[in-house]
Structure 1
Amino acid sequence: MNQLISTFQRQQGQFWQALLQHIQISLISIFIAILIAIPLALLLRRYPKIAEVILQITGILQTIPSLALLGLLIPFIGIGSLPAIVALVVYAIFPILQTTYTGLNQIDPSLTEAATAFGMTRRERLMKFELALAMPFIMAGIRTATVMVIGTATLAALIGAGGLGNFILLGINSNDVNLILIGAISSALLAVIFSAALKFLERAKIRFIIISFFLGLVLLGGSYYQPQTTKHPQITIGGKLGAEPSILINMYKDLIEKNSNIRVNLKSNFGDTTFLYNALKSNKIDIYPEYTGTITSTFLKNTTKSTDPAEVWKEAAVGIQKLNNMVYLSPMKFEDTYALAVKTNFAKEKKITTISELAGLSNINAGFDLEFANRSDGYKGLQSLYGLNMNVKTMQNSLIYGALNSQSVDVAEVYSTDSQIKQFNLTVLKDDKGLFPPYQAAPLMNASLLKKYPELENILNKLAGKINDSQMVEMNYDVSVKQDDPAKVAKNFLKAQGLY
C-alpha cells in the first residue's frame, strides 16, 4: 500500500490530466450515443419489424472486439480521440436503444388511447407521460452504457487518446503493478461514481434530467477550454511507451526551451511506433524520437542489410525524406537494438557469451514477442543466419523479463539499453554475425516544421553522438526501477554534459 501511495504521489501531475481525458472521452461518447439512440428508439416504435433488424445490428456491433474495432477505424479516421469516441459510441448505442425501445413499448396501450381521446398530440403524450413511464428503463440503459464505456475507454490509450489506460499500459510495459492498479482502480471508481449519479437521476423529474443533460454538455465543453498562457510559439513532442522515450523527449524539451523562445508540450507514453508515426504525419505532434533500424525495417522498402550505424542512419534519413518529406536529424551514440539475453548464472553454467555458442545447445526455451518471432531480423534471421531452433513461447513484451527471471524461458529477446538488464543481472549475448541492425535514436519531424523553426536543427543536434549504452541503461534504471522523474533524470544528464 505504501508503494502504491508513493507511486501515486510521483504521478499526480499525469494522473489528473489522464483522469480529465478519460472523463472527456467517456462523456462525449455517452452524450452522442444518447442523442442517437433515444430519437432512434422513438422512431422505431412506429416500425416494429424494422426495429428488430436495427436492434440485431447494434447488438452484433457490440460483439466486435474493441481492439479489432479500433484497428478497423484507424485507416479511415486516424488516431487519437476521434476513433476512440466512435468506437465507444458504437458500444454505447445498443443498451440505450434497447432499453428505451423496451420502456416505450411496455406502456399500457389504454393510456395512449385515453390520451388520444382527450385530444393530446403525439408530442404531448410523449412529454406528459410516455417518457416519464419509460424513464426507469432509459436510465438503466444509460447506466449500463456509461459503466461499459468508462471501462472500455482505457483502451483509448492504445491509439494516443490518453486517459487512465496510459497508466495501465505503462505499468504493463515497465512491469509496475502499482501503475496498473492506479489506472484500474481509478477507472473502476469513476464508473461507480457515475453509476451512482445516474441512479440518483432515475428518481428525478424529466425536466431536471433534461437540464442536467444540457448542464453536463456545457461543463464538458468548458473542460476543453485552455486559456492562452504564453505568446511564445509552441510545439508538441511525443514519445513512445516506456522510460527511454520519456527521458529523450524531456531532453528535447529542455534544450529547445533553453536555447529558443519556443515552448514545448510533451505527450509522453503516447503509443507505439505506428501511432506516433501517423500522429506526426497528421500534425498531431511535431517531433518524436525514432530509431534508425525502425525506419529502415518498418517504413522503408528495398533497404540494404548494412549493420554500419552511419550507413543505416544515412539510409533512414534519405529514405524517410523521399517517402514523406520528413527530416531525420543526427542520432545519439547508444544503440537500443534487439539482443538476446540470458541469466548470468545460465551463461556461466553453459559457458556462452555469443549467439553462435547458443546454437550449440539443445532444448532451449525462448521468450519472444509476436513481432520478433516473425521478423527477418528476429527469430527468422536467427534460424537462417545462426541455425537456431528453439522452443519459442510468444508473449507480450513486458512479460518477457519476468519469464526469464523466473527461468520459465532460458533466453529472451531484449533491447540492449533496457533497465531490466541491470535489474535482473542478465548477460547480453554478442551478436557475433551481425544480424541485428543498429537502432540509434534521433529526432524525426516534418520538413515544414524545420522550415518554420530552422533553429531546431542546431539545438537538437547538440545531442548527436551523446549518450552511450551504459549511460542510457543507467538512466532507464533510474526511471523504471528507482522511480525517478524522467524530467529530473534528463535535466541532470544535460547539466552533467554541459548542455543545460
Structure 2
Amino acid sequence: MEQIMQTFNERRGDLWQALLQHLQISTLSLLIAMVIAIPLAIWVVKHQKISEFLLQLTGVLQTIPSLALLGLLIPLVGIGTVPAVIALVVYALLPIFQNTYLGLTEIDPALEEAADAFGMSRMKKLFKVELPLAMPTIISGIRTALVLIIGTATLAALIGAGGLGTFILLGIDRNNTSLILIGAIASGVLAIIMSSLIKWLENASIKTSVSVLVVIIALLGGGSVYNTYVNRTETVTIAGKLGSEPEILINMYKELIEQDDEHIKVTLKPNFGKTTFLYNALKNDQIDIYPEFSGTVLETLTKKPQQTSGLTANETYKKARKIMAQQDDIELLRPMKYNNSYALAVQDKFKKEHHLQKISDLNNVQSILNGGMTLEFIDRGDGLKGIKQKYGLDFPVKSMEPALRYQAINKDRINIVDAYSTDSELRQYHLSILKDDKHMFPTYQGAPMMTKDFAQKHPQVSKSLNKLAGKITEKEMQEMNYEVNVQEKAPATVAHQYLVSHHLLKEDD
C-alpha cells in the first residue's frame, strides 16, 4: 500500500490528465451511441423485421474483438481518439438499442390506447407517455453501455488516444504493479461514479436528463477549448513507442528543442504504440516527431523487402534515409551511436551450464529450448523467422508481452527470450546475449524521424536534435534504462542528467 501511495503522489498530475482523457473519450462515445441507438430504436418499434435485423447486427458488432476492430479502423481513420471513439460506439450500440426497443415494446397496450383516446399526436404520446414509461429500461441499457465503454477505453492507450490504459500498459512494460493497480482502480472508480450518476437520472425528468448531458458536454469540451487558448505558442508533438528507452529519448528531444527555441512548446506522447502506429500517425500529421531505428525502417516500414544482411551501420542508415525520403517524403535525421540490436538471451547459469557463446551453439541444446518472445519478433523477417532460416533452429516459442517474457525466464518457465541489446532487464535478471555469429540482425541505430515538410519549416528543430548524433553508447543507454525500470527514476530526470553531464544542456542554476 505504501508503494502504491508513493507512486500515486509522484504521478498525480499524470493521473488527472489520463483520467480527463478517459472521461472525454468515454462520455463522447456514450453520447454518440445514444444519439444513434435511441432514435433508431424508436423508429423500428413499428417495423418488426427491421428491428430483428438491427438487433442481430448490433449483437454481431459487439462480438468483434476490440483489438481486431481497432486494427481494422487504423488504415481507414488513422490512430488516436477517432478510432477509439468509433470502436467504443460500436460496443455501446447493442445495450442502448436493445433496452430502448424493449422498453417501448413492453408498454401496456391499454396505456397506448388511452393516449390515443385522449387524441395525443405521435410525438406528444412519445414524450409524455412512452419515453417516461420506458425510461428505467433505457437508463439501464445506458448504464450497461457506460460501464462497458469505460472498461474497454483502457485499450485506447494502444493507439495513442491516452486515458487510464497508459498507466496499465506502462505498469506491464516496467513490471510495476503499483502503476497497474492505479490505472485499474481509477477506471473502476470512474465507472462506479458515472454509473451512479446515470442511475440518478433514471428518476429524473427528460428535461433534467438533457440539461445534465449539456453541462457534461460543456465541461469536457470547455477544457479542450481552454487548453487550446492557453497554449497559443506553436506546439510540436513528439511521440515514443512503448518502453523506457523511447520515453528517455523523447524527453531529451523536448529539452533540446525548447532550450533552443523559446517560442516552441513540446508536447510528449510516451508509450504511444508500436512501430506501424507511430509511422501512420507521423504520415497523417497526428504527431510531428518520433525516434525510429535504421534497421526497423528497412525491415518494417519499406513497401518492398530490403536486403540488410552484411550492411555496415552507416550503409544501413543511408539506405533507410534514402528510401524514407523517396517513399513517403520522410526525413530521418542523423543517428545516435549505440546499436539497439535484436538479440537472443539466456540466463547466465544456462549459458555456462551448456557452454553457449553464440547463436549457432543453440543447435546443440535445441531439444530443451523453450522460448518466450514478443509477437513482433516472432513475426519479423529479422526476428524468429530469420533465426529459423539462417541458423536452422526450430524450438517451441510462446508469444508474450515484452515485460512478461523477462519475468517468465527469471522464474525458469522459459529458457530463451528475444531482447534488445540495451534492455535494462539483461542486467536486472542476469541474462547474457548470444553472439549473432552469422550476422542475421541488421544494425539498429536510433534517429529522430519527421516529415520533410516539417523539417523544412523547422530547421532549428532539426539542428537541435542533431546534437545527439553520434552520442550515447550502448552501455550508457542500458544504464539509463536500468535507472528508469529498476531504480524507478523518472525518464525526464534521467534524460536531463545525461544532457547536462554531456554539456548538451545548460547547467542547472
TM-score bracket relative to the smaller structure: over 0.9
Q: Which residue of structure 1 aligns with residue 434 of structure 2?
A: 429
Q: Which residue of 1 aligns with 2:491?
A: 486
CA contact (8 A) 2:79 2:160 kept: yes
In structure 1, C-alpha distance between the alignment counterparts of 2:481 and 2:282, rounded to whole Å: 25
Aligned position for 1:327: 331
Per-residue CA shift, 1:301-339, capped at 9, x if unaligned?
A: 242323411110001100100010011001111111111
Residue 387 of structure 1, CA deviation: 2.8
* 1:439 corresponding residue in structure 2: 444
State which drifts further: 48-57 or 282-291.
48-57
Deviates more, 1:483-492 or 1:5-14: 5-14
The aligned length equals 500
In 2 relative to 1, CA 156–126 (structure 1 residues): closer, same or farther, beyond 3 Å?
Answer: same
1:18-417 superposed matches below 5 A: 18-225=18-225, 226-229=227-230, 232-261=233-262, 262-300=264-302, 301-304=304-307, 305-362=309-366, 363-417=368-422
Secondary structure of 2:413's match?
coil
CA distance in 2 between counterparts of 1:215 and 1:394 reads 46
1:171 Cα deviation after fit: 1.6
CA apart distance, 1:231 = 5.1
> What CA RMSD, in Å, does the superposition of the two structures yield over aligned residues?
1.4
The one-letter amino acid paired with 2:292 is: E
Alignment check: 8 A CA contact 1:95 1:141 kept = yes
Whole-angstrom CA distance in 1 between matches of 2:62 and 2:423: 39
CA distance in 2, matches of 1:307, 1:401: 30
Contact 2:135–2:202 at 8 Å: present in 1 too? yes
Q: Please give the alpha-carbon distance, in whole angstroms, between the structure 2 residues aligned to 1:393 and 1:59.
A: 32
- Is the partner of 1:228 in helix, strand or coil? helix
Q: Secondary structure at the match of 2:271?
A: strand
Give the CA deviation at 1:235.
Answer: 0.9
Following TM superposition, by how much is the alpha carbon of 1:230 offset from its aligned partner in structure 2, in angstroms?
Answer: 5.2
- Once the two structures are overlaid, the 10-residue window that deviates more, 95-104 or 112-121, is 112-121
Cα separation, 1, equivalents of 2:414 and 2:20: 41
Structure 1 distance, partners of 2:41, 2:394, is 59
Stretch moving more, 451-460 or 15-24? 451-460
Give the Cα–Cα distance (whole angstroms) in 2 for the partners of residues 82 and 230 of structure 1.
22
SS of residue in 2 equivalent to 1:136 = helix
Name which of structure 1's ranges 463-472 and 173-182 shifts more when overlaid on structure 2: 173-182
- Cα distance in 2 for partners of 1:80, 1:409 equals 35
Contact persistence 2:299–2:381 (CA under 8 A): no
Moved more, 210-219 or 415-424: 210-219
* Paired residues of 1:419 and 1:476 also in contact (CA < 8 A): yes
| 1:329-359 C-alpha deviation (Å, 9 max, x unpaired) | 0111111111111111222222222222232
What does the per-residue CA deviation read over 1:250-269, in whole Å, with 9 as the maximum and x for residues that have no partner? 00011111112322111111
Cα distance in 1 for partners of 2:394, 2:98 equals 54
Could you tell me whether the CA contact under 8 Å between 1:306 and 1:312 is conserved in 2? Answer: no
Q: Is the 8 A contact 2:299 2:305 kept in 1?
A: no
Distance 1:212 1:440 in 2: 53
- 1:393 is paired with a residue whose SS is strand
The residue type equivalent to 2:76 in the other structure is F
* Greater displacement, 464-473 / 11-20: 11-20
The CA deviation at 1:271 is 1.0
- 1:391–1:121 distance in 2 versus 1, CA, 3 Å: closer
Displacement after TM superposition at 1:2 (Å): 1.3
Q: 2:453 aligns with which of 433, 439, 448?
A: 448
3-state secondary structure, aligned to 1:360: helix
* 1-structure distance, mates of 2:455, 2:25: 33
TM-score, structure 2 length as denominator? 0.95
Task: Check whether the contact 1:292–1:312 (CA below 8 A) recurs between aligned residues.
Answer: yes
Q: Is the 8 A contact 1:417 1:472 kept in 2?
A: yes
Where 1:271 maps in the other structure, the secondary structure is coil
**Partner amino acid, structure 1, of 2:248:** I
Worse-matched range after superposition: 199-208 or 371-380: 371-380
Residue type matched to 1:26 in 2? S
Query: Aligned pair 1:9/2:9, yes or no?
Result: yes
- Closer/same/farther in 2, CA of residues 380 and 114 from structure 1, 3 Å limit: closer
Secondary structure class of the residue paired with 1:322 = helix
Task: Map Cα deviations across residues 201-258 of structure 1 (whole Å, 9 max, x no partner).
Answer: 1122222112212222222221322143355432111111110000000000111111
Aligned residue type for 1:298: T
**SS at 2:340's partner residue?**
coil
- Secondary structure at the counterpart of residue 289 of structure 1: strand
**In the alignment, is the contact (CA less than 8 A) between 2:310 and 2:439 conserved in 1?**
no
Unaligned runs of 5+ in 2: none
CA distance in 2, matches of 1:232, 1:98: 47
Deviating more after overlay: 107-116 vs 292-301? 107-116
Supply the distance in 1 between the matched residues of 2:462 and 2:37 (Cα, whole angstroms).
51
Deviates more, 1:122-131 or 1:298-307: 298-307
Q: Secondary structure of 1:377's partner?
A: coil
CA distance in 1, matches of 2:117, 2:372: 75
What's the secondary structure of 1:443's corresponding residue?
strand
Query: How big is the shift at 1:457?
Result: 2.2
Work out the percentage of aligned pairs sharing the same amino acid. Answer: 52
Structure 2 distance, partners of 1:380, 1:213, is: 53
8 Å CA contact 2:344, 2:418 repeated in 1:
yes
Q: Report if aligned partners of 1:307, 1:434 keep a CA contact under 8 Å in 2.
A: no
SS of match in other structure, 2:16? helix
Structure 2 equivalent of residue 467 of structure 1: 472
Q: Distance in 2 between matches of 1:379 and 1:270?
A: 25
| Cα distance in 1 for residues equivalent to 2:408 and 2:209 | 52
Distance 1:485 1:466, change over 3 A: same
Indicate conservation of the 8 Å contact 1:333/1:468, yes or no: yes
Structure 1 position 394, deviation (Å):
2.8
